[in-house]
Structure 1
Amino acid sequence: MGQKRLLGAAAALCAAAGLTLTAPHTATAAPAPSPSPSSDACSYVSSDFRPTLTYGDTGAAVRQAQCLSNTWGGRPPELAVDGVYDTVMLKKIEWIQVCHGLPRSGVVEGRTWQVLYHPALDCYVPYPA
């Protein structure tokens, strides 16, 4: 009975410290919560459907690109997922392209889709004013 009480107290202390008790005498750090949804949360189109998107386009593929850009580590600004490729989206896509060493075209095509699905942790290029 004393051992169970001791383990319960240890588990409570670990929980208070942000740790999880994984075995009777070991503790590991709890995983950090994700700051944004993963690309799995974006399901407006199949991940295999990667059409070329340009300013003025509309539809589900644009929603997918908007959603994916919001999961990207270099966040600003959060785009409205409304399916309209507007000037705010254009500016963000160009910034994401620059952050990855891609040509600043604003066109979402193969390489840009690739970085949207596999986002960088962060970008050290300042977001344009």
Structure 2
Amino acid sequence: MATAIATTAALGSTASAVGQASAAPTLPAGGPGYSCGFYNGTEWTGAGQTGPAAVARIKEVQCLINLGAYTPSTGNSQLYVDGNYDQSTYRAVEWYQRCSHIGSSGQVDAATWYQLRNNPNC
């Protein structure tokens, strides 16, 4: 079962898993791109990373993927925005990278960050 999270009118409606804490996605005032408010850089992000900075980056990845085409209507379950780079997050990143035609490593590099922030629907 899913509940809706607050989004700006420009983003439309997205769903998140029940019990999941999630930031309201926004469009930054300084220019194009989406943000969930957890992290705004482009540092490499992937499985096995720990600590508060890694958790913030992973939550941003999970939230941004949930904004786009990674939905039940495309056969995918929304990700829990929990900061854990688990198998579901890895598979979602791979899917998103293939959808965006940027190579599917399953890890978030600068090209993946750019696409997530500027083209969430791939």
TM-score computed with the length of structure 2 as normaliser: 0.63
Match of 2:59 in 1: 63
Match of 2:97 in 1: 97
**Of 27, 34, 38, which residue of structure 1 is paired with 2:12?**
34
Name whichever structure is richer in helix by fraction. 1
**Aligned-residue RMSD, C-alpha:** 2.3
Q: Which runs of 5+ in 1 are unaligned?
A: 1-30, 123-129
Kindly tell me the number of residue pairs found equivalent between the two proteins: 90
Q: Percent identity?
A: 28
Match of 1:26 in 2: none
Higher relative contact order (CA 8 A, sep 6+): 2
Amino acid at match of 2:84: V
| 1:66/1:89 contact within 8 Å kept | yes
Q: Which runs of 5+ in 2 are unaligned?
A: 1-8, 15-23, 28-34
